[in-house]
Amino acid sequence: MTKLTITEIAAESVELLPARETLFWDVNTALIAAQNASYAVNAATVLSVAHSTAVQGITVTQF
């Protein structure tokens, strides 16, 4: 990561967004899908250990 100099900061500018009434689509939605799966089977055994690894996936789509 590089540090900004005073000259670079002074060169920054801002721009106002249009009024809310002028925006064509006034909708902000996000679709979120999350899945988490983990399975461990330890059937018909005595003094044994079952290990499980979880797999997780999250998808976010914003409009």
Whole-number pLDDT of residue 63: 67
- pLDDT tens, residue by residue, 20-59: 666 566 666 788 888 888 888 877 777 788 888 888 888 8
Our separate counts of H helices and E strands in the chain read 1, 2
Residue 18: pLDDT over 80: no
What lies within 8 Å, CB to CB, of 10 at 6+ separation is none
Residue 3: pLDDT over 80: yes
- Domain of residue 32 covers 19-37+54-63
Kindly report the pTM of this predicted structure: 0.33
Whole-number pLDDT of residue 55: 83
In a domain, 33, yes or no: yes
In a domain, 27, yes or no: yes
The domain tally of the chain equals: 1
In a domain, 11, yes or no: no
